[in-house]
Amino acid sequence: MANKSDRKDRKPLKLKTGSFDRNAAMARMGVMAGASFAGHTLGNMFRSKEGKERRNREFYVKQAQFLADELGQLKGSVMKVGQMLSVYGQYFMPPEAIEVLRSLQDDSPPVAWGELQPVVAERLGKKRLAELEIDPEPMAAASLGQVHRATRKSDGLELCVKIQYPRLADAIDSDIRTLTQIVRLARLVPKGMELNAIMEEVREMIYREVDYDRELRMTREFSTRLEGDDRYVVPQVFPEYSTETVLVTSYEAAHHVQSETVQNLDQPRRDALGKSALDLFFREFFVWGIVQTDPHFGNYKIRLRDEGPDQMVLLDFGATREFAPRFLGSYYDVVTGAFEKDAKRLIDGAIGINLLRRDSPQHVFDAFAKVGMLMIEPFSDDAPDELTTPDGAYRWGESDLPFRVSRAVSDAAISRWFRIPPREIVFLHRRMGGVFVLLAVLDAEIDARDMLASYLYRETEVDPERAG
């Protein structure tokens, strides 16, 4: 979610929640996207090959920017689809378009309190609402809702009130059908791409994120599982103020990871926070099989303490996913194969999670194994000398590993043999990448080989208990 300080000069939106307003706006998007492509195609008829390639790149940026601007005004599920396309699209969309759509992740203007106050009054009831003093200026705003700080009048307790935008859930199905056509008209996906299947997965994800009852349960689940570990803080939930579309939790004061306060911490404290972030991810995946898959820095804030370890304040569990034991077993083989430099185990695991086709030629298997072993570099015993400290810690802030992995895939010419991964992998890698970026932002120096090994070689690889 975009935070309060980032939006001081941004004009609040008037929500287009009525069916007429939304349908008219989306029809306009479709007409303009189609007309833009027709003009682009006509212009390319008279350009050289180099000119066409340059103009194609410019066209993708223009189309994606148009889509991002329009979705940002509409809010709701259409904007969330744009965000998710930036996650899925890395496997099939032009890089220029991905960069623009990624702007939707963090850059969401708020909705005016005058638009939401009557909605909150109706959802909570006048008696409950009267017990709270709600700040009309939102703390954070996103595509599906926004968060306001509040005080309980009876005891001064500070709270956070998460409000889902009105009539949002009712529009999800029609929004996705219409946006699927617009994305096709804008030519942002390759011809022949099975876009409907991707959109269906996005649809299921959005329904999960607008289920505030489930988010309340998942918040409680993480709180219970992390109870007693003072490295982490999970907000308390207040069911008496919560409904299907309003979620109230305790307010937890903390710093943004990119704040000057956190960036100026000494190396040992930053390293400890990095270890906490990495250990949490490993525990979620290898032990619980339950992963909070949204890596937005606003969901992982830092509370500094004079005594005891600094803490990670964990927020927003709407994107929590549960992973099936069969998937976990195959992915475990991928990671263990890379860790042990066992190419056969790595490849068998990749086939098991549908990353590779079993009928791929041997050179594809060899190249994929090489890439997999490169990806585990921070946990290996042979990382480049320039990326390790004298005592063997990996220097996350200095690493260009994502670039080298991307280049290795391109150089091996194996991309066409990859399948578009199933949603489990897409959202798992989304969170994994977020952890790696967090460690880089902290400029952490960590020897995490033993930490990963402790999870790979546990007696019980997957916790049989599952959240409800």
Give the span between the Cα atoms of 96 and 60, in whole angstroms. 6
pLDDT over 70 percentage in the chain: 72
Partners of 132 in the β-ladder = 152
Could you give the angle at the alpha carbon of 316 between the alpha carbons of 233 and 433, nearest 5°?
Answer: 90
CATH architecture of 112-164+211-252: 2-Layer Sandwich (3.30)
Does residue 411 sit in helix, strand or coil? Answer: helix
Using the structure block, give the residue that is written with the tokens 């199933």: 422
Partners of 313 in the β-ladder = 233, 301
pTM, two decimal places: 0.80
Question: Does residue 41 register a pLDDT over 50?
Answer: no
**Which whole number is the average pLDDT over 309-337?**
94
Q: Quick one: tokens of 246?
A: 């309003």
396-439 pLDDT, tens digit per residue, is 999 988 778 777 766 655 555 555 666 778 788 888 888 998 99
> CA 198 → CA 85, 152, 194, 205, distances in Å?
9, 43, 7, 11
Residues counted in the chain: 468
292-314 pLDDT, tens digit per residue, is 998 888 899 999 999 999 999 99
Domain assignments of the chain as residue spans, ordered by start:
2-107+171-200, 112-164+211-252, 256-468
**CB atoms closer than 10 angstroms to residue 180:** 19
Partners of 312 in the β-ladder = 232, 302
pLDDT higher for 162 or 108?
162
Which among 374, 285, 267, 360 is positioned nearest to 328, based on CA atoms?
A: 285
The phi and psi torsions of 133 (rounded to 5 degrees) equal -110, 105
Give the span between the Cα atoms of 15 and 76, in whole angstroms. 9
Name the residue type at position 448.
A
**Which whole number is the average pLDDT over 242-268?**
95
